[in-house]
Amino acid sequence: SGAIGNAAAAIVAGFATTVVVYRALAQGQFGRFGATPAMRTISGPIAYTWPYGMSTPAQWIALRTRRFMHDHHITQDPLAAIAMACYHHAQSNPRAIMYGRPLTRQAYDESRWIVEPFHLYDCCLENDGAAAVILTSAERARDLKQKPAYVMASAQGSDFRQGATAENGPDYATSNFKTLAPRLYAMAGIEPKDVDVAQVYENFTGAVMTSIVEHGFCHPDEVMDFCTFENLTAPNGKLPINTSGGNLAECYMHGLELIIEAARQVRGTSTCQVKDAEISMVVSGPMVAPVSDLILRR
C-alpha cells in the first residue's frame, strides 16, 4: 500500500504520468521466509531471541497475538473464522492455490500446531510468483479499457518505537495501526462504517484480528462477536475480508495481491463480489514497522 501511495504522489506531483508497482518472488532459490537460516555465529538483537528458539515470523506474531487474546479474553474462534473465511472465498477463485480445497472447522482444529495460538491454517502460504498494478492520472484513466479504481487515500508509518528490536516495542499487542488508521480515514473523508470490503494482510490470522480492531470495525472486547465466519464472508457479511482467498488461500504476493483484489471489488469483477462495493480498503503488513494502508473507490 505504501508503494501505491508513493506512485500516486509521483503522478500528482508531475514526476510521472504512469507508474508500475510490481512484486516478484522467487524464494525457491534462496530459502523461504518461514525458515531459519543456519549461522555459525550470531550477534545483535537476534542474539536475544534466536538461540532460544524464537527465530521465525510465526513466533513473533504469535507472542503479540497471545498477549491480545489474554488481555481481552479471546478464544480460538476468531482465528478459525478468519482462516475459514479466506479458504471459503478461495473456492470461488480458480486462480487460488487452495481452489478446490475447502477448510472445515474440524480440519482446522485437527491441523498441527505451528506455534500456539496458530495452527497450520492460520499461517500464510509461501509461493513464487509475480503481480503488478498500473497507476495513472484520473483524467487518463477515464479513457482506458478497464474501469478505473480511484485512490482515495494512502498512508504509511509507525507508532512510537514500534521498530524496536529484541521484542522491545512499548505497545506489544498491537498491529501498529493505532496512529495510522485515523490519518487514513481523515485523508479519505470517511469512517469505518463506510468501508464495504477489506483486504487485510494475513501473514497470520492473529494480525488480521488486531488490524480489524485498530481500524475501528469493532472494539477489542467485541472481537468474539464481530470476527465470525458469517460477518467476514461475501456477499452479505458485515465486513467481507480477503475475498480472493488472500495470503492464506489465494497466494502470497506480499500485499500486492490484496491490492489487485481491492481493485477488482470496486470494478465489480471479483470472484466473490460484494454487491455495490464502492469503497475497498487494503491493510498492509500488520505487526511490523512501518505499516501502510490504502483505500480505493469506485
Structural domains for the chain: 2-297 (3.40.47.10)
Q: What is the pLDDT of residue 164?
A: 83
Q: How many helices (H) and strands (E) does the chain have?
A: 11, 8
- Could you confirm whether 22 is annotated as catalytic? no
User: For 248-261, what is the mean pLDDT?
Assistant: 93
Q: Which residues pair with 155 in a beta bridge?
A: 293
Q: Is the peptide bond preceding residue 290 cis, with omega within 30 degrees of 0?
A: yes
- If you ran DSSP here, which 8-state letter would residue 266 be given? H
- Could you confirm whether 150 is annotated as catalytic? no
- If you ran DSSP here, which 8-state letter would residue 30 be given? T
Quote the mean pLDDT of the chain.
Answer: 94
Please, which residues have CB within 8 angstroms of residue 9's CB and are 6 or more apart in sequence? none
pLDDT in tens, 184-207: 999 999 999 999 999 999 999 999
pLDDT in tens, 104-129: 999 999 999 999 999 999 999 988 89
Sign (positive/negative) of CA torsion 163, 166, 171, 173? positive
- The pLDDT-based confidence of 276 (bands split at 50, 70, 90) is very high
Sheet bearing 279-284, strands edge to edge: 150-157, 291-297, 279-284, 197-200
Catalytic residue among 87, 108, 121, 201: 201
* Phi, psi (rounded to 5 degrees) for 219: -85, 160
Residue 152 grid cell: 482515495
User: For 26-41, what is the mean pLDDT?
Assistant: 77
Please, which residues have CB within 8 angstroms of residue 243's CB and are 6 or more apart in sequence? 89, 197, 199, 234, 261, 265, 270, 271, 272, 273, 274
**Residue scoring higher pLDDT (166 or 136):** 136
- The pLDDT-based confidence of 167 (bands split at 50, 70, 90) is confident
Q: What is the pLDDT of residue 166?
A: 82
Find the helix or strand (DSSP H, E) in which 151 lies: strand 150-157
What are the Cα distances from residue 230, in Å, to 119, 251, 255?
A: 21, 23, 24
